[in-house]
Structure 1
Amino acid sequence: MLVKQTPFIKLSYFSETELVELEWLAATVDMTVEEFHENVRLQNEVLLEHKPKKILAKTLEMQHTISPDEQEKHNDIILPTFKAIELEKLAIVVSQDLFTQVSISQIVDDDTAAGYQSNYFEDITSAMDWLAE
């Protein structure tokens, strides 16, 4: 069920599987730093409201390279929430854009105290299969 949407991101929640699906959209090519942070805050609100055990992050269309400063601000917002909601699994379907892929992996890899499993996938089916395990 779609719960929030902006030109840059779609956020859906599926109660039967306790899953939040976030999908970064192609419009991210024109996204500003402030718009990125606004969308991260929106994502955080959805996570706090629904408290999913699993997240499917679809970044296939994301075309915004996340700078180190943006990564740090993202982590300051999102990582405490992951802990608070007791997230179990994070599946990331990676962008084909190398710079975007690297910036996304740096965000997840920076979470040294992660209490959840994370994995990267090239397709949604593999990610969903892993989340269902």
Structure 2
Amino acid sequence: MTFDAESKILETNWVIPQQLQAELFKKLMSIYFEAVRQHSPKKIFANLTYSFHIITLDVQEWIDENLSPIYEEIKLEKLAVCVSSDLFAQVSVEQTISESIYSVYQTKYFKEEKAAKAWLLES
């Protein structure tokens, strides 16, 4: 995870195996929550290219309950997601994000990192 203070972009690179236990996944997400709180980014680049974990519905709800208020609090503007090559993992991520009741920020999905970062840098 890196944060660029000038552009206010938090970059995360997720390498998550398919068979990760839910409790360990939640611990990883909790670290992410704290980084988002600490840096208060306006834009986030989430590289999930090598993330193969399928997020279960109960964990999707847990993420929404915990992360959405943080995004609202920091006034997140844009979330660029580089999607996983695993279709099921990709769909579970998209469901998690689209289910958010606080989605006041723009979200866009990309296959290429370069396009995602270029979009984040647009006004």
Instruction: Report TM bin, short chain.
Output: over 0.9
Question: Shift in Å at residue 77 of structure 1?
Answer: 1.1
Partner of 1:18: 8
Partner Cα separation in structure 2 for residue 76 and residue 21 of structure 1: 22
Partner of 1:122: 111
Q: Which amino acid aligns with 2:114?
A: T
Question: Shift in Å at residue 122 of structure 1?
Answer: 0.4
Secondary structure of 1:17's counterpart equals: coil
Once the two structures are superposed, residues 65-109 of structure 1 have per-residue CA deviations (whole angstroms, 9 ceiling, x without a partner) of: 101011011111111100000000000000010000000000111
Cα RMSD (Å)? 1.0
Secondary structure of 2:109's counterpart equals: strand
Question: TM-score, normalised on structure 2?
Answer: 0.95
Once the two structures are superposed, residues 2-28 of structure 1 have per-residue CA deviations (whole angstroms, 9 ceiling, x without a partner) of: xxxxxxxxx211111101111111x42
Partner Cα separation in structure 1 for residue 106 and residue 97 of structure 2: 10
* Length, aligned pairs only: 122
Partner of 1:99: 88
Unaligned runs of 5+ in 1: 1-10
Question: Shift in Å at residue 29 of structure 1?
Answer: 3.0
Structure with greater contact order relative to length (CA < 8 Å, sep ≥ 6): 2
Asked whether 1:40 is paired with 2:29, we answer: yes
Question: TM-score, normalised on structure 1?
Answer: 0.88
Question: Shift in Å at residue 111 of structure 1?
Answer: 1.7
Contact 2:48 2:84 (C-alpha < 8 Å) held by counterparts:
yes
Once the two structures are superposed, residues 24-46 of structure 1 have per-residue CA deviations (whole angstroms, 9 ceiling, x without a partner) of: 11x42342100110011100000
Question: Shift in Å at residue 112 of structure 1?
Answer: 3.7
Match of 2:73 among 66, 77, 84: 84
Segment drifting more, 27-36 vs 72-81? 27-36
Partner Cα separation in structure 2 for residue 12 and residue 28 of structure 1: 21
Percent of matched pairs sharing the same residue: 34
